[in-house]
Structure 1
Amino acid sequence: MKVLKFGGTSVANSQNILLVENIIKKDASQNKIIAVVSALHGVTDQLIKASELASENDQNYLHIIKDLEEQHLLLVKELIPVLEQSPWLSFIKKHFNDIEDICNGIFVLGEFTNRIKDKITSYGEFLSSNIISARLKSAGLDAIWMNSADIIVTNSNFTNAKVDFEKTEKNLNQFFDENKHQIIIAPGFIAKDKKGNPTTLGRGGSDFTASIIASVLNAEELQIWTDVSGMMTSDPRLVSNAKPITEISYSEAMELSHFGAKVLYPPTIQPVMIKNINLRIKNTFDAEAEGTLIFHNLKNADSENKQIAVGISNMNNIALLTLEGSGMIGVPGVSAKLFQCLSNEKINVILITQSSSEHSISVAISEKDIHNAESTINLAFEDDLKLKRIEPVQIEKNLSIVALVGENMKSRSGVSAKMFGCLGNNGINIRAIAQGSSEKNISIVISEKDIKKAVNVLHEEFFESEIKQIHLYICGIGNVGLKLIQQIYDQNEYLKENLLINLRIAGVSNSRKMIFSEKGISQDQLINFNQNGEESSAKKFAEEIISSNLRNSVFVDVTASAEIPNIYEKLLKKSVNIVACNKIAASSDFERYTSLKSIARNHNCKFFFETNVGAGLPIIGTINDLIRSGDKIISIQAVLSGTLNFVFNNYDGSKLFSEIVAQAQKEGFTEPDPRLDLAGTDVARKILILARESGYSIEFNEIENESFLPEECMKGNVEDFYRSLTKYESHFKNILEKAKNNGKILKYVAEFKGGKAKVGLQHIAPESDLFHLYGKDNIVIFKTLRYSEQPLVVKGAGAGAEVTASGVFADIIRSV
């Protein structure tokens, strides 16, 4: 024998009911079937709405009743043969006349009690089950209708009645002794009290009806047929990669159900769990899908091979009430008093957490109950409040509960650390934590605005370990930015396969336009970026990143803008990782530089800027490794400008100095304004950053800059700059000749030693490590405590869009 329950969506219309018929017919060929059905989808809510309108003297209740009547009449016409329709059409009309009479009474009295509510809502299941029973009989099946209200006996707690199992079992056994039909159709949700008054079984009542019947009759299996293919690892509306759960234990299912998994309601499980009856969740619209099988004990007893968690559930519209005060410490009965006053008001406590000092206790309740809860708690503790032993109850709203569930969590260490770590790394603040002694559930209270991000982060951590989703926001799509984007597109398949990460470009901006896409920006979208994007600003770009609140977010700054670094602090405080090619932040005031690094640490995120010096060369990373391993930087000597190295390697007097500079700019080696390179400003910033990363406190204005440019070259715009270079060609030739005459070459050198830094043009002899440096190469020579006799040298291409983009790319990978 099997008990099958079909929900409201499964019986919403004639097409769906025909699917239900096929499912019943297939199972009835091998088993005796009891099918418990809900009201047609939305009917119960509409009956309640009609009653409420009637109680408010709003005659629109009549329109609702008429619409519902038409809906049921149409169902009869579509499901039952014409020659058999007449008695059933009269049946529908009669009962809707009764519904209208009840609502007319509500209209006159202006009163809608729970007792009346139970009577009127019971019609939904009563009507749907009769129509479905008639349909099966007309199709030639051996079916009979059973009135659950005559079978299930309850107390008189209307809208949430408690079942008298002894009398109910007696009634059920008597019915089945007298009726030997192959198929029994029964309405769910409805019952009667001992006086014969209609009652209902509360939330999930139809499931509960099916569970009661299955338990009493010792059914082989209880099946809950709904519109999803079983329980899922998370809410698929929040997590696109949510997966079906094929097997789960009773206790795990109850935990998931309690915390928001709406496929199943906790009271449903109790009767069948006691009898150790299998329960299966199935999809009416995909009957062949395996669904979820719920056992008393899972088949696989080897906990080491089982997944740590089985699912994540969540509840929204939660409020957190906190009672605290020194008068609670060591005083027995405070918690009991708190829960008693909430119980008296029928306020359900969803989660409890108490500090070990007993100084405070917090409870999570539904947000709709907060005003009632606040007043009843303050009244109950009125004397303590007056004497300042306890503070007035504190209320936090707009919260959600997220629960990680799994029996196997109790046998694994580090589950909580893993859970809190991934949430913390994504800037999700936890307001309260609760874990049962059984260790099957770790529940947290968070801000409602973080719910999607939190559930996705946890799902990725516990159920999608094969691929980690990274969301990139790239600011700046000039030469470097475009190269970076292309590298990401080209390399992403490799990263998925080898590093198990998927880089998704979720936002792109330049100084004029910006575009966003949570699903990722394609190469085709970038082509029409300037036409289709919205108006951009640094502030708007940051606000969109924060409001999107996507997990594993990385902001990438490949601009030279002085404005963009102003948003770093805001992003870091939201735990958005930052990768900066832009040197402004790291070379700004020392206080700001250290503040940004401190904020990144405090908010569990990364602030990387390797490409600030040497493009893709591992210079800053090398310093960090030396310092972390206990070494100390004594001095730094470096050629840090690929631009200046290119210029002085190529300037031999055969071409104008201005032509060589223009060539460097054309090949992408210079900043948009070449004066930043030639005046030494860019090099000064770089040596400043290296000194700071080496552990020294130094400001930009403390760096000695020996400029080789005439003062006039620094005036006006870029065009004026090039004209001045041409005008002073003799000046540059003279510098070149002096070096040649001494058998040396020109290099623009940055030096740091004894806490002081300087930059300037130097004559370099052939025996120097700086001499053999060609093209756009950079070199950095470190002398440290460990590298005192033979210095540590880092050398290679230090300029160019391709290598700079690759350095940014490497920082992105490190940041995740």
Structure 2
Amino acid sequence: MKILKFGGKSLSNGKGLNKVISIIENKVNQGDKIAVVVSARGNATDELEEILGVAAKNKDYKTPLESFKKEQNGEYKDIDLSVEFEVLDKLFEGVSLIGDYSNKIKDQILSQGELLSAKLLTAILNKKGIKAHFTDSRALIKTDSKFGDAQPLEQVSKKNVVNYFKQNSDTVNIITGFIGSNNNNDTTTLGRNGSNYTASLIANYLEAEELQNYTHVDGIYTANPELVPDAKKIDRLSFNEANEIANFGATILHAKTIIPLLEKNIPLRILNTFNDDNQGTLITSKSNKEGIKTLSVLENVSLVNLEGRGLLGKTGVDARIFRVMGDNDISVSIISQGSSERGIGLVVNANDATKAMVELEKEFENDFYSKDVNKISVTDNVSVISIIGQDLSTFHKPYTALIKNKIVPILFNNTVTGKNVSLVVKKTELHKALNVIHGEIFGVSKKINIAIFGHGLVGGTLINQILESAPAIEKRKDIKLNVFAIANSKNLLLNKNGVSPNWKNEIQTNGFSYTIDDVIAFANENHLENLIAVDNTASAAFVENYIPLAEGSFDLISSNKVANTLSYKFYKDLRKVLAENQKNYLYETNVGAGLPLIDTIKLLHLSGENITKIKGVFSGTLSYLFNNFSAKDVPFSEILKEAIDNGYTEPDPREDLCGNDVGRKLLILARELDLQNEFEEINIQNLIPEHLREGSVADFLNKLKEFDPIYNKIKAEQQPNHVLRYIGELSGDLQNDKGNLEVKLVSVPSDTALGGLKGSDSFFEIYTESYGDRPIVIQGAGAGSAVTARGVFGDILRLSEKG
């Protein structure tokens, strides 16, 4: 025989009830021998409890009660449920008159939900020609008299069930779950989720072939799919694993359900009423493999903390605590104990927390006077995440991922076997924490949520590069890049599931004005993990957002050089905030676009290598200008106009020619060596004749020929076989606080590496103590939106692959 159990959502009016009838009908037609255990339909138990509360306050309970009756009959108006309705009328009237009720009365009221459910389903099946028999489990399951959470009396209950099924073997018995009766035949209930327990007991007593628990989900998942969209269904679990899952809050299971099945080795299959093709999750004595199975959650809990240095080394403290808990019927789901400073944390039901604190204060009253106990307190609004199957040897991975996302567990504990770890986190962080841990341990793609500020040439190219490459990166690297925010100086576009390739039009039509707080709030509200903010602006104003972004759990990536070239104080303050929040800041494209320059210098400096000098061509624009001017017999103005026409310069070419951009890049490298130079201390040779430095861009562009006599003279006065290069140079004793920073036009032999530079390449020489006069040379494309965007993309991927 198979026992089928149907939950409340499965039995709801409409599609649910019809599917249940269809499942039973198919089983019978296939010749399966079955018995059916039912929960109350829909939200009947909650609704009855709510009406009970209204009646106890002498308020209008009749209106919601009539609505309840109508819902319970549903479309089956001809099925007589009047007996149960009359019971409810009398009980609620009595509660309303007295203004109070006992647990005994409450059990009588709540039991009507299951009775209505079983009676209705039995009548429908009989009308369809399926021989079904209404079975009131109060006549079968005998219990003690603890109303609200009664315990079955096993021997008499088993005898009743076995005898009943012998006498009713040729029918489909439709059995009420959740309820029983004591020796006085008073109605009792088995606690919440007790219908599963009823089904489990009957399966045990009848030594059933299988218990099939039909719910509204496809089985047990690696996490609650409503909280973790990437959760995967588990095909198979062991009873021990299922028991752990049940103990730690999985609502689909009741902890008591497992034990009767385990005793007789009866498989439990969790199935979806609404999905015929699904095989569900099978729970047997053996698991299919070792390892982490699922994340379970306890939400309605509080943390009770007992602290006291004077308790260290004292015997009997734990016994006193648990005696208080036991005497007051308070269940403790987790205990964590410190040793260096005596501290004990207890996770209890939120409704019991205040009572636990008050009773513990009474117990330890004398210890307060002797100063052995410092404080007993309650932390509310917490949740417990239990990683079922987690081995401590790999626990550092999810723990590190949580810290990276600014989620610091309040408490954690592990079982003696080391196979389950539980974390207490703030309730506000639960959703995000679940997604972070799940992404880290279940092999699903690690989701990286990216906000991009600035979508000009570099930013726009980057966005398109990410959107085009994302599917391949997810397949190859198990990293899912999700651009959830795009912003310019005026408008912001948000989409938690990622922007579309049509983002340019969408930011115009759907974008709205914003502050940086809107982006941070959106990420928090949608529990977005692994956050990266990318600054592709050239804005000094936007840099002010870096600190709030880091404090808001964003890693930073920037092609904007401003943040690293403001005052040395800001430079250090930013890094202090980054360190405090354990956030990264990558800016490889600040110098050399896509070339691996900053990384190389960082590594050399970190390894203790003494860098003695850095010099090179820092600007792709100026590289193009002087490489061509030196190689061709044409006026300087002609080369400059060519560069402007090809888009190699800024819209106002004076921004390139003044040398400030090269100065900023040189300063960034100096600061990588812990030098404390300020921008004002850089000696910069401005390439623009003084009389052309002011005025409009249009006026400047009309006067380009005025460059020619100046630069023709400089070119002509060079030594033979020399060429012009505009370089940045960092020199001096770089072990001191400050170095010498110069930006200047120099003449170098054409047969040197620097002299042989072509096109718009950047070129860098890094001199070190170990390498002597043979520098490390880095050369390559140093400009262009595609190159810079690809460099920023590289920084994104480097951050994405970090632990």
Q: Same fold (TM over 0.5)?
A: yes
Q: Secondary structure at the match of 1:803?
A: helix
* Map of 1:738 onto structure 2: 714
* Residues 395 and 761 of structure 1: CA distance in aligned 2, closer, same or farther (over 3 Å): farther
Structure 1 CA distance for aligned equivalents of residues 771 and 408 of structure 2: 44
Superposition deviation, residue 206 in structure 1: 0.7
1:734 is matched by which residue type in structure 2? I
Structure 2 CA distance for aligned equivalents of residues 210 and 187 of structure 1: 9
* Map of 1:809 onto structure 2: 793
* 1:728-781 deviation digits (Å, cap 9, x = unpaired): 854662243123232444322111112322112223332443222233221101
* Residues 548 and 205 of structure 1: CA distance in aligned 2, closer, same or farther (over 3 Å): closer
The aligned runs of 1:340-359 (5 Å cut-off) are: 340-357=323-340, 359=342
* Map of 1:696 onto structure 2: 675
| Aligned-pair Cα RMSD in Å | 2.5
CA contact (8 A) 2:143 2:183 kept: yes
CA contact (8 A) 1:125 1:189 kept: yes
* 1:379-421 deviation digits (Å, cap 9, x = unpaired): 3322222333212323323222111112xx45xx632112212
* Map of 1:271 onto structure 2: 260
* 1:697-746 deviation digits (Å, cap 9, x = unpaired): 43323322233434454446xx2x55357558546622431232324443
* Residues 595 and 546 of structure 1: CA distance in aligned 2, closer, same or farther (over 3 Å): farther
1:799 to 772, 783, 786: 783
Superposition deviation, residue 666 in structure 1: 5.4
* Map of 2:58 onto structure 1: 57
* Map of 1:562 onto structure 2: 540
CA contact (8 A) 1:480 1:804 kept: yes
Structure 1 CA distance for aligned equivalents of residues 142 and 520 of structure 2: 60
Structure 2 CA distance for aligned equivalents of residues 741 and 328 of structure 1: 87
* 1:414-472 deviation digits (Å, cap 9, x = unpaired): 3211221222222221111011112231111112222222212222222234x332221
2:754 to 767, 770, 788: 770
CA contact (8 A) 2:6 2:36 kept: yes
Structure 2 CA distance for aligned equivalents of residues 526 and 397 of structure 1: 45
* Residues 221 and 690 of structure 1: CA distance in aligned 2, closer, same or farther (over 3 Å): same
* Map of 1:236 onto structure 2: 225
Structure 2 CA distance for aligned equivalents of residues 686 and 283 of structure 1: 61
Structure 2 CA distance for aligned equivalents of residues 619 and 207 of structure 1: 64
Structure 1 CA distance for aligned equivalents of residues 358 and 339 of structure 2: 26
Structure 1 CA distance for aligned equivalents of residues 472 and 15 of structure 2: 47
* Map of 2:597 onto structure 1: 619
1:440 to 406, 413, 419: 419
Matched, 1:336 2:336: no
* Map of 2:377 onto structure 1: 394
* Map of 1:191 onto structure 2: 180
1:323 is matched by which residue type in structure 2? L
* Map of 1:682 onto structure 2: 661
Structure 2 CA distance for aligned equivalents of residues 580 and 338 of structure 1: 54
Q: Secondary structure at the match of 1:752?
A: strand
CA contact (8 A) 2:238 2:284 kept: yes
- How many residues of Structure 1 are paired with residues of Structure 2 in the alignment? 790
1:621 is matched by which residue type in structure 2? D
Superposition deviation, residue 41 in structure 1: 0.8
1:109 to 98, 101, 110: 98
Superposition deviation, residue 36 in structure 1: 0.6
2:397 is matched by which residue type in structure 1? K
The aligned runs of 1:171-570 (5 Å cut-off) are: 171-298=160-287, 300=288, 306=289, 308-357=291-340, 359-406=342-389, 409-410=390-391, 414-465=393-444, 467-570=445-548
CA contact (8 A) 2:636 2:707 kept: no
1:432 is matched by which residue type in structure 2? L
CA contact (8 A) 1:479 1:668 kept: no
* 1:41-91 deviation digits (Å, cap 9, x = unpaired): 1112222222211111112x11122222223344533xxxxxxx5xx42xx
* Map of 1:723 onto structure 2: 699
1:757 to 738, 741, 745: 741
Structure 1 CA distance for aligned equivalents of residues 156 and 216 of structure 2: 33
Superposition deviation, residue 794 in structure 1: 0.9
* Residues 163 and 804 of structure 1: CA distance in aligned 2, closer, same or farther (over 3 Å): same
Superposition deviation, residue 560 in structure 1: 0.9
Structure 1 CA distance for aligned equivalents of residues 428 and 86 of structure 2: 47
1:354 is matched by which residue type in structure 2? Q
206-215 or 764-773: bigger deviation: 764-773
* Residues 539 and 137 of structure 1: CA distance in aligned 2, closer, same or farther (over 3 Å): closer
CA contact (8 A) 1:252 1:440 kept: no
Superposition deviation, residue 657 in structure 1: 6.2
* Map of 1:784 onto structure 2: 768
Structure 2 CA distance for aligned equivalents of residues 780 and 697 of structure 1: 22
CA contact (8 A) 1:713 1:725 kept: no
2:688 to 698, 709, 714: 709
Structure 2 CA distance for aligned equivalents of residues 422 and 364 of structure 1: 24
List gaps (5 residues or longer) in structure 2.
733-738
CA contact (8 A) 2:614 2:730 kept: yes
Structure 1 CA distance for aligned equivalents of residues 23 and 523 of structure 2: 48
* 1:614-668 deviation digits (Å, cap 9, x = unpaired): 1111111221232344432111111101222233345589988677656545544
Superposition deviation, residue 147 in structure 1: 1.4
Q: Secondary structure at the match of 1:560?
A: coil
Structure 1 CA distance for aligned equivalents of residues 506 and 637 of structure 2: 36
List gaps (5 residues or longer) in structure 1.
78-84, 301-305
Q: Secondary structure at the match of 2:729?
A: strand
Superposition deviation, residue 309 in structure 1: 0.9
CA contact (8 A) 1:538 1:563 kept: no
Superposition deviation, residue 507 in structure 1: 0.7
2:458 is matched by which residue type in structure 1? V
* 1:7-32 deviation digits (Å, cap 9, x = unpaired): 11121125433322332233344443
Q: Secondary structure at the match of 2:616?
A: strand
* Map of 1:81 onto structure 2: none
Superposition deviation, residue 324 in structure 1: 0.5
Superposition deviation, residue 38 in structure 1: 1.1
Matched, 1:13 2:17: no
* Residues 289 and 501 of structure 1: CA distance in aligned 2, closer, same or farther (over 3 Å): same
* Map of 1:36 onto structure 2: 37
The aligned runs of 1:566-577 (5 Å cut-off) are: 566-577=544-555
Structure 2 CA distance for aligned equivalents of residues 752 and 503 of structure 1: 38
Structure 1 CA distance for aligned equivalents of residues 226 and 610 of structure 2: 53
* Residues 143 and 532 of structure 1: CA distance in aligned 2, closer, same or farther (over 3 Å): closer
254-263 or 114-123: bigger deviation: 254-263
> Could you state the TM-score of these two structures normalised by the residue count of structure 2?
0.93
Aligned sequence identity (%): 35
Superposition deviation, residue 554 in structure 1: 1.5
2:491 is matched by which residue type in structure 1? K
Matched, 1:47 2:30: no
> Could you state the TM-score of these two structures normalised by the residue count of structure 1?
0.92
Structure 1 CA distance for aligned equivalents of residues 690 and 367 of structure 2: 77
* Map of 1:97 onto structure 2: 86
Structure 1 CA distance for aligned equivalents of residues 290 and 638 of structure 2: 66
2:313 is matched by which residue type in structure 1? G
Superposition deviation, residue 563 in structure 1: 1.9
765-774 or 415-424: bigger deviation: 765-774
CA contact (8 A) 2:553 2:581 kept: yes
Q: Secondary structure at the match of 1:519?
A: coil
Superposition deviation, residue 367 in structure 1: 3.1
* Residues 606 and 798 of structure 1: CA distance in aligned 2, closer, same or farther (over 3 Å): same
* 1:136-183 deviation digits (Å, cap 9, x = unpaired): 233333332221011111111111111111221122222223332242
Q: Secondary structure at the match of 2:395?
A: helix
* Map of 2:735 onto structure 1: none
